[in-house]
Amino acid sequence: MTELAITTFRLTRRFGDLTAVADLDLQVPGGSVYGFLGPNGAGKTTTIRLLLGLIRPNAGEVRLFGQSLRDGRMTLLRRVGALVETPSLYPHLTGRENLEVTRRLLDARQEQINRALAIVKLEQDAHRRVAHYSSGMRQRLGLALALLGEPELLILDEPTNGLDPAGIREMRDLICRLPEEHGVTVFLSSHLLNEVEQVATHIGIIHRGKMLFQGTPDELQAQLEEHVTLEVDQPDVALRLLSQAGWTAQRNGNHRLVVQVNGHSDVAMINAQLVHAGMNVFHLNLKQPSLEDIFLKLTGEQDRQGGSK
């Protein structure tokens, strides 16, 4: 069984009357890219501050690598790197000089600077002053600072904020490489559903401080059924025929129907039935639910439940 890099038990943090995190149970497998998703204000940054020991919980516990953060905070956090919000850099220094400042604080080896620069692909620009870096290069340098101590766990809070498409792509590629090439578990918080969908091996969804889902992307996809959209010349007849055959179908426009299905075999059966009944099928497309579809469903359901109390 894979060791869990992060575990929390009923983790709770309140600020006055506001409960920012409520009974949160995280399970982040070692070697994973764990996408921690939620809209702005959902409790993601508060959770990260709790994981890093920057604030104390009102209740519950944080465990890193199976050990309680309460019992060995300093020892455990030496195994963790973090990039929270905009990295703190010295613009008048070069990229390498920025890393040298942190290396001395960590009492790290000189070769660890070269390793960090190589991972984020900044070796060719390490001699340049940070004032001349693009936003993407600054973010990669911030990541190099987080990797300088050769951490086993990397915690990133909205790492693509403020980046252009090229910078986002660079950061995404880098995050994907870290577990396999360098053995680093990545805990990534974001409100960008599409970005997380492309990199995460595991996903947690938080909304209003509460965990709505935790599992793999495939398990998340199973939260919504697949459906097929089709266009026929006799939509009313097709709707009646499919409903009588036991399909859940509904109209969606003049000649379009939406039918809930369970994979490609169902699509073939629907097409065969309609053609056999003498109808012309002009368009047929199997659509799997996107992460955004599921996210909106989960958060919308909690909003409705919250509003009914």
Which residues, given as ranges, of the chain have pLDDT below 70? 1-2, 224-225, 263, 288-291, 301-309
The answer to whether the CB of 62 falls within 8 A of the CB of 24 is no
The answer to whether the CB of 12 falls within 8 A of the CB of 60 is yes
pLDDT of residue 39: 85
pLDDT of residue 308: 36
In angstroms, rounded to a whole number, what is the distance separating the alpha carbons of residues 62 and 180?
Answer: 26
Which amino acid is residue 170, in one-letter code? E
What sign does the CA torsion over 191, 192, 193, 196 have? negative
pLDDT in tens, 272-298: 999 999 999 988 887 766 667 777 777
pLDDT of residue 194: 81
DSSP codes, 58-115: SEEEEEETTEETTT-HHHHHTTEEEEESS----TTSBHHHHHHHHHHHHT--THHHHH
Closest by CA to 146, choosing from 170, 176, 117, is 117
Q: Strand, helix or coil at 218?
A: helix
pLDDT of residue 224: 66
The answer to whether the CB of 86 falls within 8 A of the CB of 193 is no
pLDDT of residue 220: 83
Tell how strand 202-207 and strand 33-37 pair up.
parallel
Distance linking the first and last C-alpha atoms of the chain: 41
Which amino acid is residue 152, in one-letter code? E
- Count, residues in the chain: 309
Sheet (strand 202-207) strand order: 80-84, 153-157, 185-190, 33-37, 202-207, 210-215
